[in-house]
C-alpha cells in the first residue's frame, strides 16, 4: 500500500468529469478530498490524499495525466517574503483559498498563512520569487 498527497489543476472543460469516482471505482483507490476550489480564472484545483496498491496508484496517476490534468505533489509549507514582494497581485488570482488579499486602503498584499493548503501554485507563479517552499 502507498499514500500520496497531490494537487490537481485542470481546465474548465474537465470540471464535470467524474475524476474521483474513476480513481475509486476503476483504480481501487481510497480518495480523501482535502480541498476543492475553482480559481477566478476558472481552473479547477483539487487537493487529494490517495491511498492504494502501488500499481493502482501509478495507474490512477497515469489516467489523470492522460485526461489532461496537471499533477503536483503537495508541499509542506510556504514562506512569503514581504521585502521581495512588489504587490503585483498575480498570486491573488491563482490562490485557491484566498491566502493573498489586496488591502483596499493601502493597495498592498496581505498574507493569511492560516488559510494556506501548501498547494504551491503561487510559488511557480510569482515573478519576483517572493514566495518559497520551506522544507
Chain contacts with ligand SF4 (rule: CB under 6 A): 78, 85-91, 94-97, 99-100, 109, 116-122, 126, 128, 130-131
Give the integer Cα–Cα distance in Å for 22 and 31: 10
Q: Give SS3 for 8.
A: strand
Q: How far is the CB of 122 from ligand SF4 (least distance, A)?
A: 3
Nearer to ligand SF4, 62 or 88 (CB): 88
* H/E element, 13: none
> In whole angstroms, how close is the CB of 92 to ligand SF4 at the nearest point?
7
107 CB-near residues (< 8 Å, 6+ apart): 87
Phi first, then psi: give them for residue 67, nearest 5 degrees.
-80, 0
CB of 78 to ligand SF4, least distance (A): 5
Q: Check: CB of residue 69 under 8 Å from CB of residue 10.
A: yes
- Is the CB of 27 or the CB of 100 nearer to ligand SF4? 100
Least CB distance from residue 110 to ligand SF4, whole Å? 10
Smallest gap from residue 88 Cβ to ligand SF4 (A): 4
Pick from 57, 133, 48, 127: nearest CA to 94: 127
Bridge partners of 47? 7, 35
Closer to ligand SF4 by Cβ: residue 64 or 87:
87
Amino acid at each position: 500500500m502507498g499514500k500520496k498527497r497531490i494537487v490537481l489543476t485542470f481546465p474548465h472543460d474537465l470540471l464535470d468529469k467524474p475524476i474521483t469516482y474513476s480513481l475509486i471505482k476503476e483504480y481501487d483507490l481510497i480518495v480523501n478530498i482535502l480541498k476543492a476550489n475553482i480559481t477566478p480564472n476558472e481552473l479547477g484545483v483539487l487537493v487529494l490524499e490517495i491511498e492504494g496498491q502501488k500499481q493502482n496508484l501509478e495507474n490512477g496517476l497515469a489516467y489523470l495525466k492522460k485526461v489532461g490534468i496537471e499533477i503536483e505533489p503537495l508541499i509542506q509549507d510556504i514562506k512569503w517574503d514581504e521585502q521581495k514582494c512588489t504587490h503585483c497581485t498575480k498570486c491573488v488570482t491563482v490562490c485557491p483559498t484566498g491566502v493573498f488579499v489586496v488591502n483596499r486602503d493601502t493597495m498592498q498584499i496581505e498574507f493569511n498563512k492560516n488559510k494556506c493548503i501548501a498547494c504551491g501554485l503561487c510559488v511557480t507563479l510569482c515573478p519576483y520569487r517572493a514566495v518559497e517552499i520551506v522544507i
